Amino acid sequence: VPPEGFRAIFNGRDLTGWYGLNPHSVVKLQGEKREASLKKQREEFANHWRVENGELVNVGTGPYATTEEQFGDIEFRIEYKTVAKADSGIYLRGTPQVQIWDKNQIFDAKKPTRKPHLGSGGLFNNLPDSPGRDPLVVADKPFGEWNSFRIRQVGARTWVWLNDKLVVDGAVMENYWDRTKPLPAKGPIMLQTHGGEIRWRNLFVRDIPADEASRLLREVEGAKK
């Protein structure tokens, strides 16, 4: 049941409204090869994703769960539960990503830009050391428990609360696909999967009206001057 002002984008019964797509696998393809890959991923989607007890479930394989609907300025609520060593994330407007880590991983100095020990929720595909790339606090719950995200995307600005703790405060989400351009105005929500089982539930969206969006942008951009 969505909170007041929100609507469900996953019905808890089947995969209606969703399809399979790993955008990284097609970004360099063109023409018939691209179309063939897109078709194949749609066809394979239901082989990798299932609905169980009102949850959207994937074991760590296959294309990402992608909404047919395109979203602009939104507030998004979602809960997830994952397993050790898994790696996942939430793509906003088709762009990576709000990161989900196994925070128990030990920092590897040979990979200095990967910091899973700092916890989930950061904008991992922003450039290293840029605002928002690493979360402000560690807010992940222990494995076996459900985590809850509240994500607000307005223009290129992103706010992320993980388990009611602010982990990204109005940072600009970079356009991973072309950093010379701003974030697209609209795009799908995508649930990434690889490395282990992840479960999602209670996927709710509230569309943010233009007046509210303008106010939020004025507030954050004024505060960051």
DSSP calls for 166-208? EEEEEEEPP-TT-TTSPPPSSB--EEEEESS-EEEEEEEEEEP
The residues that bridge with 98 in the sheet, in sequence order, are 90, 123
Q: 97: exposed, middle or buried (C-beta count within 10 Å: 0-12, 13-18, 19+)? A: buried
Q: How far apart are CA 17 and CA 13, in angstroms?
A: 11
Average pLDDT, the chain: 96
Whole-number pLDDT of residue 223? 74
Buried b (16+ CB within 10 A) or exposed e, 6-23: beebbeeeebeebbbbbb
**What SS3 state is found at 66?**
strand
Q: β-strand 64-67 against 190-194: which pairing, if any?
A: antiparallel
Bond from prior residue into 97 cis (ω within 30 degrees of 0): yes
What confidence tens digit (pLDDT) does each residue in 108-142 have? 999 999 999 999 999 999 999 999 999 999 999 99
Question: Is the predicted pLDDT of residue 205 greater than 90, yes or no?
Answer: yes
Whole-number pLDDT of residue 225? 64
What confidence tens digit (pLDDT) does each residue in 62-82 have? 999 999 999 999 999 999 999
Q: How many CB atoms lie within 10 A of CB 206?
A: 18
Q: How far apart are CA 140 and CA 112, in angstroms?
A: 21
Percent of the chain with pLDDT over 70: 99
